[in-house]
Structure 1
Amino acid sequence: MLHVLYLVHDLCDPATARRVAMLQAGGAHVTLAGFRRGALPTFDGIAPIDLGMTGDRAFAQRLIAVGKAAIMLGARLKGLMKPDIVVARNLEMLALANRVHALFGANVPIVYECLDIHRLLLDEGAVGKAMRGAERFLGRNAALLVTSSPAFVREYFEARGQSHAPVMLLENKVLELSGGAGQPMRAASPPAEGEAWRIGWFGALRCARSLALLAAFTRATQGRFEVVLRGRPAHVEFDNFDGFVAAEPHMRFEGPYRNPQDLPAIYGEVHFSWAIDFFEAGMNSDWLLPNRLYEGCRFGAVPLAMQGTETGRFLAGHGIGLLLDRPEAEPLTALLEDMTAGRYAALSEAVAVHKPETWVCDAAECRALVERMKGVAGGAWARTPVEAAA
Structure 2
Amino acid sequence: MLQILYLAQDLADPAVRRRTLALISGGARITLAGFRRSDNPLAAIEGVMSVALGKTADGRFLQRIGAVAGACLSLNRKLGHLRKPDVIIARNLEMLAVARRAAALFGGDVPIVYECLDIHRLMLRDDMIGRALRAAEGSLGRDARLLITSSPAFVEHYFRPLSHLEATPILIENKVLEISDAKEAAHGTGIYPPRATPWKIGWFGALRCSKSLALLAEFSRKMEGRFEIVLRGRPARSEFDDFEGFVQLEPFMHFGGAYRNPEDLLEIYGGVHFTWAIDFFEEGQNSAWLLPNRLYEGCRYGRVPIAMRGTETARFLSARNIGLVLEEASAEGLAALVGAMTPDRFTDAAARIEQCHATTWVFNRADCEVLVQRLAALTREPHAFAPASAMTAPRHNARHNESGMP
Q: Give the alignment's TM-score, normalised by structure 1.
A: 0.95
The AA in structure 2 aligned to 1:184 is H
> Secondary structure in 2 aligned to 1:4?
strand
Matched with 2:225 is 223
The AA in structure 2 aligned to 1:65 is A
Residues in 1 aligned to 2:324 and 2:388: alpha-carbon distance in whole angstroms: 43
Residues in 1 aligned to 2:118 and 2:150: alpha-carbon distance in whole angstroms: 8
Residues in 2 aligned to 1:192 and 1:121: alpha-carbon distance in whole angstroms: 44
Shift of 1:255: 1.3
Matched with 2:144 is 142
Residues in 1 aligned to 2:303 and 2:80: alpha-carbon distance in whole angstroms: 48
> Are residues 349 and 61 of structure 1, via their aligned partners in 2, closer, same or farther at CA, if it must alter by over 3 Å?
same
Residues in 2 aligned to 1:321 and 1:92: alpha-carbon distance in whole angstroms: 36
Matched with 1:25 is 25
Residues in 1 aligned to 2:22 and 2:312: alpha-carbon distance in whole angstroms: 25
Alignment of 1:336 onto 2:338: yes
Shift of 1:183: 2.4
> Secondary structure in 2 aligned to 1:261?
coil
Shift of 1:114: 0.3
Would you say the 8 A contact 2:307–2:313 is kept in 1?
Answer: yes
Select between 99-108 and 7-16 the one with higher mean Cα deviation.
Answer: 99-108
Shift of 1:108: 0.8
Shift of 1:192: 6.2
Mapping for residues 309-320 of structure 1, pairs under 5 Å = 309-320=311-322
Matched with 1:278 is 280
Would you say the 8 A contact 2:32–2:48 is kept in 1?
Answer: yes
The AA in structure 1 aligned to 2:189 is R
2:213 alignment partner, one of 187, 201, 211: 211
Select between 250-259 and 345-354 the one with higher mean Cα deviation.
Answer: 250-259
> Secondary structure in 2 aligned to 1:383?
coil
Matched with 1:83 is 85
The AA in structure 1 aligned to 2:27 is G
Mapping for residues 102-113 of structure 1, pairs under 5 Å = 102-113=104-115
> Secondary structure in 2 aligned to 1:21?
helix
Shift of 1:12: 0.3
Matched with 1:254 is 256
Alignment of 1:185 onto 2:188: yes
Residues in 2 aligned to 1:180 and 1:91: alpha-carbon distance in whole angstroms: 38
Alignment of 1:119 onto 2:121: yes
Would you say the 8 A contact 1:186–1:352 is kept in 2?
Answer: no
> Are residues 196 and 52 of structure 1, via their aligned partners in 2, closer, same or farther at CA, if it must alter by over 3 Å?
same
Residues in 1 aligned to 2:205 and 2:167: alpha-carbon distance in whole angstroms: 31
Alignment of 1:308 onto 2:285: no
> Are residues 385 and 73 of structure 1, via their aligned partners in 2, closer, same or farther at CA, if it must alter by over 3 Å?
same
CA RMSD of aligned residues (A): 1.6
Would you say the 8 A contact 2:134–2:163 is kept in 1?
Answer: no
The AA in structure 1 aligned to 2:19 is R
Shift of 1:261: 1.6
The AA in structure 1 aligned to 2:39 is A
Residue deviations 1:23-65, cap 9 Å, x none?
Answer: 1111111111111112375322112111011111111111111
1:288 alignment partner, one of 280, 287, 290: 290
Residue deviations 1:274-309, cap 9 Å, x none?
Answer: 000000001111111111011100111100001110
Residues in 2 aligned to 1:273 and 1:385: alpha-carbon distance in whole angstroms: 39
> Secondary structure in 1 aligned to 2:49?
coil
Would you say the 8 A contact 2:248–2:254 is kept in 1?
Answer: yes
Mapping for residues 155-166 of structure 1, pairs under 5 Å = 155-166=157-168
The AA in structure 1 aligned to 2:332 is E
Residues in 2 aligned to 1:85 and 1:64: alpha-carbon distance in whole angstroms: 26
Would you say the 8 A contact 1:246–1:252 is kept in 2?
Answer: yes
The AA in structure 2 aligned to 1:278 is F
Residue deviations 1:295-338, cap 9 Å, x none?
Answer: 10011110000111011111111111000011011111111122
> Secondary structure in 2 aligned to 1:140?
coil
Mapping for residues 229-248 of structure 1, pairs under 5 Å = 229-248=231-250
Would you say the 8 A contact 1:90–1:113 is kept in 2?
Answer: yes
Matched with 1:10 is 10
Residues in 1 aligned to 2:388 and 2:214: alpha-carbon distance in whole angstroms: 46
> Are residues 234 and 323 of structure 1, via their aligned partners in 2, closer, same or farther at CA, if it must alter by over 3 Å?
same
Matched with 2:96 is 94
Would you say the 8 A contact 2:160–2:388 is kept in 1?
Answer: no
Shift of 1:101: 2.6
Shift of 1:189: 3.6
Matched with 2:397 is none
Alignment of 1:352 onto 2:354: yes
| Structure 1 gap segments, 5+ residues each | none
> Are residues 161 and 66 of structure 1, via their aligned partners in 2, closer, same or farther at CA, if it must alter by over 3 Å?
closer
Residues in 2 aligned to 1:380 and 1:309: alpha-carbon distance in whole angstroms: 38
Runs of 4+ in 1 over 6 A off after TM superposition: none
Would you say the 8 A contact 2:193–2:272 is kept in 1?
Answer: no
Residues in 2 aligned to 1:31 and 1:134: alpha-carbon distance in whole angstroms: 26
Would you say the 8 A contact 1:187–1:271 is kept in 2?
Answer: no
Would you say the 8 A contact 1:7–1:89 is kept in 2?
Answer: yes
Give the length in aligned residue pairs.
Answer: 386
Residues in 1 aligned to 2:104 and 2:337: alpha-carbon distance in whole angstroms: 56
